[in-house]
Every structure is written in C-alpha cells, then in structure tokens.
Amino acid sequence: MERPRAFALALGGLALVVAAVLWCAHPICVQLSAAEVAEAARWAPLETRTDSQWHGRVWQLRDGRWYQCKSWISRQFFF
C-alpha cells in the first residue's frame, strides 16, 4: 500500500512544480506609450527586434499599438 501512496505524492509534487513554472512563464503584455516606443526604438527599430521568450516575441504590434510582452516572473524582477 505504501508504493501507490508514494507514487501519488511524487506525481502531485511534480504537478505543483510544473504548475509553478507555467505560472511564472505566462506572458504579461503592456501597451507602450509613444514616449516608451521612442525610448525603446533608440537601440533598434521595434519592427526589426527579434527578442523572444517562451511565449513568443517580446515586442508585438497589435492593432497599430506596440506592446511589450514578457513573462510574469520577468515583470516581477526586471520591470
């Protein structure tokens, strides 16, 4: 009887770790103001930037507005 219980606990622990990683990696996209777009474009035009994370491109143009999409954990520690 102990073996199935240990397996269930290990499986539950693994599920918690996977859920934590997925939560930390989910994207948060913030719409950029015109000033922020100008500041970010100083280094290179946003259209040509290829920065990416697990979820896709960091700089995204949606409906004519620029967004910076970063993982939740990245937003927490690196604004």
Query: How far from each other are the two terminal CA atoms of the chain, in whole angstroms?
Result: 49
Answer for the pair 68, 40: CB distance below 8 angstroms, yes or no. yes
Query: What is the DSSP pairing of strand 27-31 with strand 56-57?
Result: unpaired
Q: What is the pLDDT of residue 58?
A: 92
Bridge-partner residues for 71, per DSSP?
27
Locate the domains of the chain by residue range.
2-78
Question: Cα–Cα distance between 78 and 10 in angstroms, integer?
Answer: 33
- Read off the tokens for 53: 């994370």
Q: What is the pLDDT of residue 59?
A: 93
Q: What is the pLDDT of residue 1?
A: 58
What SS3 class is residue 5?
helix
Give pLDDT tens digits along the chain (79 positions): 588 899 999 999 999 999 999 998 899 999 999 999 999 889 899 999 988 888 889 999 999 999 999 999 988 887 6
pTM: 0.72
Q: What is the pLDDT of residue 53?
A: 82
